[in-house]
Amino acid sequence: MIEPRRIWLFLILLLPVFANAQEKANDTLISLKLEQTNIRTVLDTISASSGYLFSYNSQYLNDTTKIDINVDSASIGDIIKLIANDREIQLVRKNQHIIIKKAPRKNYFTLTGSVKSNKEPLIAASVYFKNTFQGVITNADGEFVLKVQSQSKEDTLVFSHLGYYSMEIPLQEIENNHIDVTLKTHSIKLEEIIVSGASARTIVKKMMENLNAHYPKKDVAYTGFYREEVKRGNDYQYFSEAVLKVYKNNYQKTINTERIQRIQSRTIKSASKKDSVLLKIKSGLRTSLYLDVVRNRPSFMHPLTLEHYTYKIERTSYINGEMVYIINFNPIAGTKVRYQGQMVINAENFALEGVDFAYAESRKDALEELVSKRSRGVKKKFNQASYKVRYKRIGNTWYLQRTETLLSVKVKKSGNWFYKPYTSQTAFYVVNTDTTNIQKPRRRESINPSVIFSDETFDYTPEFWGQYDYFKPSDKVINDLKKIEQIERAVSQGMD
């Protein structure tokens, strides 16, 4: 029986640090109050306090101009940005030496916007360029941020969502680099709802028969945005994001020796003593990538266990102007298969557009398999584990677009009377797909998919990701994360 790889859990006491120049510069906090001084004196003062040495081009940073500076517990990076007077700078660290350089000229601009329906935010709407297919999805507020590269300035933006009419807008018609759009619900004719001559099981079988025809026949490199978060109740305990390059074999190869390169990341976690032990998905990234159900087929898509499920056409809908079947599936009583859910299958060519699935109500006992090993003094009760997968059509081929996982569990530590609820979520969003001259990196140049990303000071500014597309955090997420920073400051002050 084929099942998706288990999500392993463990309790971590310490997160390893993968530091770059900016991370280390942000680790050191300095207070300064200088009047009618110059940049050279400021940097000399920082050197005396931190041990860092600085190099810079005096033609770019005028070190004779008089300046005033008054900062309290500011990072070295923030201080340098301040004395640089908003110039675009880049910090490069070599051991204890920090080089201040002029940042490379941007070859892109940032487009922001929102997607709504009936005046309400439309969540997970796709926003992408018609020619390059570079794109993102909207957040819980219906908002998006998209980096427009020089080659896309004359392209057309496409806005789409399951069950809605798509909209196309030439980029040159957008003013002030911002656009708000409203999508209309796709009306479905009565004759389209009544599917004659086709059973749900027949549709699923045709989908499975055509899997090799619809999915990548060439190796592919995905540029993606990964997010991982852990909450205790409604409070964040851990939040991490990263831009990744994921190299995958074509679907004709039976073995998938994927490689992953980390481009940039940021992490924030609770710092209070009682929350220093975090519930964490050990293989969150590994699981997110393993959820490519076309390559790693779960039981509801496997010929050996297909007969253990019931399939029912729930309804029909549209995506990008094409009709799709929405098919529900459930395990047959007495069988050992685990999942229930819903598949979205293209009505014309039977390509799988996406699937949502979770442990069936009748098989909640199987959630115990998610425990890799028992932790001393810690008891866990799993409530649910659910998964979401979407594919995007480029030409006549469907590529991975996004995967999401949600794990709900209750945890009780030794000495406590009550269980505390935790939720852990991961998501991987593909923002760019490349199939041209793919050179897979060597293993030593790749990261382990079980890696925990750096503890870099969390930066909320849109400029943090530079030229890379990302999934914009909602306003609520940003506000919740700032609460963690307030706790960190309170804990730090209490330890001084």
Range in 162-166, 273-277, 425-429, 481-485 with the lowest mean pLDDT: 273-277
Mean pLDDT score, 115-135: 92
3-state secondary structure of 283: coil
Contact 294, 251 (CB under 8 A): yes
**Residue 206: what pLDDT?**
94
- Looking at beta carbons, which pairs linking 253-261 to residues 24 or more positions away fall under 8 Å? 256/295, 257/440, 258/289, 259/440, 259/441, 259/442, 259/443, 259/445, 259/446, 260/285, 260/289, 260/446, 260/447, 260/449, 261/441, 261/445, 261/446, 261/447
Q: Which DSSP string corresponds to 353-382?
A: EEEEEEE-GGGGGGGGGG-SSPPTTEEEEE
CATH 3.30.420.40 fits 21-102, yes or no: no
Q: Which DSSP string corresponds to 187-206?
A: P--HHHHS--S--HHHHHHH
3-state secondary structure of 438: coil
* Residue 133 φ/ψ region, left for φ over 0, alpha for ψ in the -120 to 50 degree band, beta for the rest: left
Residue 250 pLDDT > 50: yes
Residue 211 pLDDT > 70: yes
**Residue 224: what pLDDT?**
93
- Domain spans of the chain? 21-102, 108-186, 193-495
This prediction has a pTM of 0.75
Dihedral of CA 444/445/451/456: which sign? Answer: positive
Burial class (CB in 10 A: 0-12, 13-18, 19+), 127: buried
**Where is pLDDT greater, at 40 or 184?**
184
**Residue 207: what pLDDT?**
95
pLDDT-derived band of residue 53, with 50, 70 and 90 as boundaries?
confident
pLDDT-derived band of residue 450, with 50, 70 and 90 as boundaries?
low
The DSSP element (H or E) to which 160 belongs, if any, is strand 156-160
**Where is pLDDT greater, at 178 or 87?**
178
pLDDT-derived band of residue 7, with 50, 70 and 90 as boundaries?
very low
Mean pLDDT score, 162-181: 93
**Residue 20: what pLDDT?**
41
Mean pLDDT score, 364-374: 69
**Residue 375: what pLDDT?**
61
Percent of the chain whose pLDDT exceeds 70: 78
**Where is pLDDT greater, at 187 or 174?**
174
Q: For 151, phi and psi rounded to 5 degrees? A: -75, -10
**Where is pLDDT greater, at 372 or 111?**
111
Residue 42 pLDDT > 50: yes
| Mean confidence (pLDDT) of the chain | 80
- Residue 137: how many CB atoms within 10 A of its CB? 24
Q: Which DSSP string corresponds to 166-179?
A: -EEEEGGG--TTEE
**Residue 400: what pLDDT?**
95
Residue 52 pLDDT > 60: yes
Highest mean pLDDT among 80-89, 322-331, 380-389: 322-331
Residue 11 pLDDT > 60: no
What does the pLDDT look like over 97-115, one tens digit per residue? 777 777 666 678 899 999 9
- Please provide the CATH number assigned to the domain covering 108-186: 2.60.40.1120
pLDDT-derived band of residue 346, with 50, 70 and 90 as boundaries?
very high
Nearest to 419 by CA among 431, 408, 435, 428: 408
**Residue 33: what pLDDT?**
85
Mean pLDDT score, 215-222: 92
CA distance 338 to 359: 6
